[in-house]
Structure 1
């Protein structure tokens, strides 16, 4: 494909606004690109640097796991809970098939080395997830 066929910029204002209006809405950035979670769906294939800057400026929570070790990303993605986007979180303890509050999942990624923006740590609630599934842990 010819390089000029790829857009050099894109308008993310509307999907970011939709994510801001969605409980648990956030931008997740990983080794495979960026995914914006909102409403009952998601959008991927984003221009990573552009959407990250726009999302942070808009106040949307952003979890960027690209600096994390692959083993830690895999552990959290496979053994950790999913973010409760536009749904009620499951009660703790959270596990691989549970939906947890965004703040809890964000704190687990932060503790493992991810860049996390616009998301305050949940305090004691993160303790329930921190350390689960680590080597030598339960």
Structure 2
């Protein structure tokens, strides 16, 4: 059986490391350009929450809204500084700003304080 503990530890050490959960499963962002995906959502969610890793579960957000957030961007900066491009879809913002967008849309958020006044949507 696969043990994701080491990946979760790596995600906790990198700026922007987090677990995102959607209708297609989960994605653990543990380093710049490095992700781990899977379908054992409930187990991974519990492990990450227990470890204190930020967890964003957007399964409860309407499909149209979450698709707009995911497609139109921006993305969360993981292991790199935020950077902005002409197209927001290619921009990277801080995890706090990215989470604020999903939180405003109604996503379930764990281990992430509300620190950003304006969502990045």
Compute the TM-score of the two structures, normalised by the length of structure 1.
0.79
Listed as ranges, the matches of 1:40-59 within 5 Å are 40=32, 41-59=34-52
Give the conservation status (yes or no) of the 8 Å contact 2:56–2:110. yes
Distance 2:38 2:24 in 1: 9
Listed as ranges, the matches of 1:21-100 within 5 Å are 21-40=13-32, 41-90=34-83, 95-100=88-93
**SS of match in other structure, 2:29:** strand
Q: Give 1:63 shift.
A: 0.5
Q: Give 1:92 shift.
A: 9.6
5+ unaligned residues in a row in structure 2: which ranges?
none
Greater strand content: 2
Q: Give 1:16 shift.
A: 0.5
Distance 1:28 1:81 in 2: 14
5+ unaligned residues in a row in structure 1: which ranges?
1-6, 133-138
Distance 1:28 1:128 in 2: 17
Compute the TM-score of the two structures, normalised by the length of structure 2.
0.90
Between the two structures, name the one with larger relative contact order (CA 8 Å, sep ≥ 6).
2
Name the Cα RMSD after superposition.
2.0
Aligned length: 120
**SS of match in other structure, 2:112:** coil
